[in-house]
């Protein structure tokens, strides 16, 4: 889906300088932007939950990659970072379960996803950058 709304667009300040991380974060932004479009356009629950399923799956893949990377980089606060990831996955997985009950997905949810991701990228994810930059090869 085209990112035609200005709700959530990638900004240069989101860049970490770690290429795979930035690419994966951009993909997460796209999922949330797509979800916004689908909700805005009043798409059916099936197509909305298809995006949520994709978002949950991709988020898990991204977190695995990131946790593996920061572990290899010797990031000292990895356990705390893993906990933050886990809590987010649990939260978005709970949205998936709403699917079975056919509960509507609201703008509040989409806003929550955006706020969480931006805060995480600009906050917690910033902390491991120096460690990854110091890795001999990546």
Can you give the binding site for Fe ion, defined by CB under 5 A? 125
> C-beta of 124: minimal distance to Fe ion in Å?
6
Q: Which is nearer to Fe ion, 21 or 51 (CB)?
A: 21
Residue 132 Cβ vs Fe ion, minimum distance, rounded to whole Å: 12
Return the residue nearest Fe ion (CB atom): 125
* Shortest Å distance, C-beta 111 to Fe ion: 20
Rounded Cα distance, 66 and 20, in Å:
9
Alpha-helical regions (H) of 1-138: 19-40, 45-72, 78-101, 107-122, 124-133
Nearer to Fe ion, 7 or 88 (CB): 88
Say if CB 124 and CB 12 are below 8 A apart. no
Nearer to Fe ion, 34 or 125 (CB): 125
Query: Helices 107-122 and 19-40: crossing angle, nearest 10°?
Result: 170
């Amino acid at each position: 889906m085209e990112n035609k709304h200005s709700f959530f667009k990638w900004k240069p300040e989101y860049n970490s300088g770690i290429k795979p991380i930035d690419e994966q974060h951009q993909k997460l932004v796209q999922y949330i932007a797509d979800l916004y479009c689908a909700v805005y356009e009043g798409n059916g629950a099936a197509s909305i939950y298809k995006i949520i399923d994709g978002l949950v799956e991709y988020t898990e893949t991204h977190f695995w990659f990131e946790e593996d990377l920061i572990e290899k980089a010797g990031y000292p606060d990895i356990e705390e970072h893993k906990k933050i990831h886990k809590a987010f996955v649990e939260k978005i997985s709970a949205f998936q379960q709403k699917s079975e009950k056919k509960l509507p997905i609201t703008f509040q949810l989409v806003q929550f996803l955006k706020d969480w991701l931006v805060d995480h990228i600009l906050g917690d994810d910033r902390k491991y950058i120096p460690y990854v930059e110091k890795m001999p090869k990546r």
